Amino acid sequence: MKRIAIVLAFAMAAPVWAQEQKPAPKEPEKEPVAEKKEPARMASKKPNPKRQEDARHCLEKATNTEIIKCSEEYL
């Protein structure tokens, strides 16, 4: 019984050991203090009046491209 438990433990742990290690993410280089840039800001958009409306009728379109184009009006 102990042998079965040991074999099962190794069988369950084997995929974990087989995975490749991901390299550590590189930290971005620090900018000099004198040349600070302002953070990038998202472009301000006007609120879309259609945002709260129902766009399920777009799902009746024939292709994915048509569905996407129809639903973009509601974003």
Measured distance CA(69)–CA(63) in Å, rounded: 10
Both structure tokens of 17: 């050991």
pTM above 0.85, yes or no: no
Kindly give the confidence (pLDDT) of every residue in the chain, 75 residues in length, as a single tens digit, with 9 standing for 90 and above. Answer: 778 888 888 777 767 666 666 777 777 766 665 555 666 666 666 777 787 888 899 999 999 999 999 988 888
Q: What is the dihedral of CA 17, 19, 23, 25, to 10 degrees?
A: -110
**Amino acid identity, position 11:** A
Please tell me what DSSP assigns to residue 52: T
- φ, ψ for residue 8 (rounded to 5)? -65, -40
